[in-house]
């Protein structure tokens, strides 16, 4: 039964031509043990039967379909959802991912203990009908004393479809950047801006959802962060770091750029960045990764997922 009271949580789902995956996503919301939530499906001008799928759930969910002009990325649809959200908390869920039944309940427990943003691991799903899950899209708890530095040095800690944040916090930073140069890393940029604002990040130990890696929606490597995007994120936020942390973050940037170039088959550029990582201030674990990858580059081996 749908509650007509103002919801505690607004679930924002950006989507584009993923009607069947959206159905699976919405089915996972019907079984949530925490029931005070609304669903905002923010469509980026789909040409499939997305609207029909949304209509199937109107009797079970407090659901709204928000349609806008095609943007070509999830940032603007998410921002439209943030603008329309009535809940004190906003949960983000991509339309090809889905949640376990206790996701919202356990997230709310963390938020009520004082967190501004809560997140967790997601199971990696690679095929339809999968019943056993072994690999995770992993998260980590940033150091509360230096959250921004930790996120820039260790990388994106927050799987997008695991995040629930206080509405006032995400609105205070104007949501996700719609800069075309940040498409596919706009979520990482958003978490860094929340860290700069002093938001409290809390990781739940539970694995409360599923991250779809089964294909069928993007071409290989499409939508993945490029070296230029990693560099843009670094330039946007490095000025807020202490010199030592900035040097370490720059070393990690060099590793990430080297890895991206390797995956794209750009071996010369990969070698240059990996050598910068080895000679720079990256933490030891990244220097070891860079060395192993540099050996692979020098032997002209192929990337393995």
Residue 34 in tokens: 């925490």
Q: Where are the alpha helices (DSSP H) in the chain?
A: 19-30, 50-56, 75-84, 103-112, 147-154, 167-172, 186-197, 227-237, 243-263, 267-279, 284-298
Contacts of 128 (CB under 8 A, 6+ apart): 214
How many whole angstroms separate alpha carbon 92 and alpha carbon 268?
38
- Residue 219: the pLDDT is 35
- Residue 226: the pLDDT is 86
- Residue 218: the pLDDT is 41
| Domain ranges across the chain | 9-212, 242-298
Q: What is the fold, at CATH topology level, of the domain defined by 9-212?
A: Spore Coat Polysaccharide Biosynthesis Protein SpsA; Chain A (3.90.550)
**Class of domain 242-298 as given by CATH:** mainly alpha
- Residue 35: the pLDDT is 96
- Residues (pLDDT < 50) of the chain are 217-222, 304-305
Contacts of 159 (CB under 8 A, 6+ apart): 119, 120, 121, 122, 137, 138, 139, 211
99-151, pLDDT tens digit by residue? 999 999 999 999 999 999 999 999 999 998 898 999 999 999 999 999 999 99
How many whole angstroms separate alpha carbon 27 and alpha carbon 37?
14
How many whole angstroms separate alpha carbon 4 and alpha carbon 90?
18
The 3-state DSSP class for residue 237 equals helix
Q: Regarding beta strands 201-212 and 63-67, do their DSSP bridges make them parallel or antiparallel, or are they unpaired?
A: unpaired
């Amino acid at each position: 039964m749908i509650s007509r009271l103002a919801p505690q949580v607004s679930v924002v789902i950006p989507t584009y031509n993923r009607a069947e995956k959206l159905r699976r996503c919405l089915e996972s919301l019907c079984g949530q043990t925490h029931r005070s939530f609304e669903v905002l499906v923010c469509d980026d001008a789909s040409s499939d039967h997305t609207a029909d799928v949304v209509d199937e759930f109107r009797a079970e969910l407090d659901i709204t379909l928000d349609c806008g002009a095609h943007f070509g990325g999830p940032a603007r649809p998410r921002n439209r959802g943030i603008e329309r959200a009535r809940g004190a908390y906003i949960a983000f869920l991509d339309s090809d991912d889905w949640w376990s039944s206790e996701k919202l309940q356990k997230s709310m427990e963390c938020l009520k203990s004082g967190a501004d943003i809560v997140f967790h691991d997601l199971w990696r799903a690679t095929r339809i009908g999968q019943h056993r899950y072994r690999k995770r899209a992993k998260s980590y708890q940033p150091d509360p004393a230096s959250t921004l530095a930790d996120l820039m040095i260790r990388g994106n800690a927050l799987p997008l479809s695991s995040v629930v944040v206080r509405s006032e916090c995400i609105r205070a930073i104007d949501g996700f950047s719609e800069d075309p140069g940040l498409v596919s890393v706009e979520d990482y940029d958003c978490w860094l801006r929340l860290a700069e604002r002093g938001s409290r990040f809390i990781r739940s130990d539970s694995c409360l959802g599923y991250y779809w890696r089964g294909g069928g929606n993007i071409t290989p490597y499409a939508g993945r962060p490029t070296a230029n995007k990693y560099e843009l994120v670094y330039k946007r936020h490095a000025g807020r770091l202490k010199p030592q942390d900035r040097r370490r973050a720059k070393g990690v940037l060099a590793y990430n750029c080297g890895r991206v170039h390797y995956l794209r088959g750009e071996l010369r550029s990969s070698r240059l960045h990996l050598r910068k990582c080895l000679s720079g201030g990256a933490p030891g674990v990244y220097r070891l990764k860079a060395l192993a990858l540099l050996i692979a580059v020098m032997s002209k081996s192929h990337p393995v997922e």
